Structure 1
Amino acid sequence: MKHYSAERKAAVLQKMLPPTSLSVAELAKQEGISDVTLYHWRKQAMASGAMSAVTKKTTEGWSAESKLAAVVETALLSEVELSEYCREKG
């Protein structure tokens, strides 16, 4: 089993947080670390309080006008642009 330094783990876990918010699958490919290892690191970090669960924003409090404006605003965005929009505005 490969050993990673605490600094390496922290740097990789940081990429899971905003503004980059990379998924475990993306990080696994990018860093060459198994997804199982990354899930384990995330679970440990959350249990120790070093990393908190990111709460997902919902549209419950949005008015009908706000929802329509979001649909119109994002209609012509590419997949990458839409992903960025969703990370920023929910």
Structure 2
Amino acid sequence: MGRYTKKLKQSIVSQMMPPKNKSISQLAVETGIKETTLYKWEKEALFQASFIPAASQNTKSEIPRVTFHYRET
């Protein structure tokens, strides 16, 4: 089991994503967690998000599209 709880990890990762878009360095200072750990969490979150189909506004017979969300630095 990891050193950080799943709830804490999710909370911090959500701050990296829109609408907050906090930088990894800022979060490292605020939380005391190493930047390398935060980059790993971000990478994992983006990988997991890449496999979640976005809601399609088209017909049901159409294959759902996958949406990627990238953080601007």
TM-score band, normalised by shorter chain: 0.5 to 0.7
Residue of structure 1 in register with 2:22 after alignment: 22
Residue of structure 1 in register with 2:10 after alignment: 10
SS in 2 for 1:15: helix
Consecutive unaligned residues of structure 1, counting only runs of 5 or more, are 57-90
TM-score, with structure 2 as normaliser: 0.63
Q: How does 1:1-90 map to 2 (within 5 A)?
A: 3-49=3-49, 52-54=68-70
Residues 17 and 71, structure 2, Cα contact 8 Å, conserved in 1: no
The change in CA–CA distance for 1:53 and 1:28 in structure 2 (over 3 A counts) is same
Q: Percent identity?
A: 30
TM-score, with structure 1 as normaliser: 0.52
Q: How far does residue 33 in structure 1 lie from its aligned partner after superposition?
A: 0.3
**For residue 4 of structure 2, what is the amino acid of its counterpart?**
Y
Runs of 4+ with >3 A deviation: none
Structure with the larger RCO, 1 or 2 (CA within 8 Å, 6+ apart):
2
Q: How far does residue 55 in structure 1 lie from its aligned partner after superposition?
A: 6.2
**For residue 32 of structure 2, what is the amino acid of its counterpart?**
G
Q: How far does residue 34 in structure 1 lie from its aligned partner after superposition?
A: 0.3
Q: How far does residue 20 in structure 1 lie from its aligned partner after superposition?
A: 1.8
Consecutive unaligned residues of structure 2, counting only runs of 5 or more, are 51-67
Q: How far does residue 10 in structure 1 lie from its aligned partner after superposition?
A: 0.4
SS in 1 for 2:16: coil
More helix by share: 1
Q: How far does residue 5 in structure 1 lie from its aligned partner after superposition?
A: 0.8
Q: Root-mean-square deviation (CA), in Å?
A: 2.3
